[in-house]
Amino acid sequence: MKFGIAVFPGTWSDRDCAHWVELAGHDAVMLWHKDTDLQRVDCVILPGGFSYGDHLRTGAIARFAPLMNEVSAFAQDGGYVLGICNGFQILCEAGLLPGALARNSSLEFRCEPSWLRVETSSTAFTRGLEVGDVLQVPVSHGEGRYVADSATLDELERSHRVVFRYTAPDGGPVGDATPNGSMHDIAGIVSKAGNVAGMMPHPERACEPLLGGVDGNRILESLALLDVAGVA
């Protein structure tokens, strides 16, 4: 597959994401925030970082970048988009995903391992996984508390669009131990059409044993099951 990796001023996980996809045998091209050509990629990754310094709000400025017009059009045509951390925040600001990411309830920047329970295997991002699988993937953010109104939360739950939930390492309830205080312990969600996903944890930082685990690769393995022929 060919992955396009967005680079905004202040993005910091772009090279990590390129390493992640290349390690899995895919191609990576970098997409500059002023670009208006997505280079016929199969999937766009919006990586983590602090786009435009995260001034005003996380992702608030990045969503108006020229590249985001193309990413929105790509997403509306069914193209696959994965937002990680700041990328998730940008997708919410852009209205491509519902809800918002607010300041962690601890008020701390949390950089630590987290455990994610797979809540659905019927998305392109998790089809190689099973419901109940637990992935160890690190978080690294100060604003990751998922917030949405109750109607949106009901809709997400009813339509099985919560993709990952923070969990205890054994898959049990996480209690108050989420990294950020997210509503419904939400770590990642997917769009109604199923082609746009956002998650706060960093799968690209769990791609080699040296980094403490390889569970992040399971998401790429799922995406690799796609028949990308015909995707523009």
Partner 1 sequence: MSSYIADVTVMLKPVVNDPQGLVVRAGLEKLGFAGVNGVRVGKEIRIEIEAESTEQARTAVQEMSEKLLRNPVIEDYEIAIREAQRA
**Which residues of this chain interact with partner 1, rule CB under 8 A?**
56-57, 60, 64, 92-93, 98-100, 102-107, 145, 147-149, 181
The minimum distance between CB 92 and partner 1, in angstroms, equals: 7
Q: Which residue of the set 33, 92, 141, 202 is catalytic?
A: 202
Which entry of 17, 43, 85, 207 is annotated as an active-site residue?
A: 85
Least distance in angstroms from the C-beta of 198 to partner 1: 14
Minimum separation from the CB atom of position 12 to partner 1 (A): 22
Which is nearer to partner 1, 25 or 95 (by Cβ)?
A: 95
Structure tokens that stand for 98 in this block: 């519902």
- 202: annotated active-site residue: yes
204 annotated active-site:
yes
* Minimum distance, C-beta of residue 150 to partner 1, in the bound complex (Å): 9
Describe the strand order of the beta sheet including 2-7 as a list of residue ranges: 27-32, 2-7, 43-46, 80-84, 196-199, 186-190, 162-166, 110-118, 134-141
Chain centroid offset of residue 37 CA: 22
With respect to partner 1, which residue has the nearer C-beta, 89 or 120? 89
Indicate if 141 belongs to the active site.
Answer: no
Of 200 and 206, the one with the shorter C-beta distance to partner 1 is 200
Between 147 and 214, name the residue whose CB sits nearer to partner 1.
147
Please identify every residue annotated as catalytic: 85, 202, 204
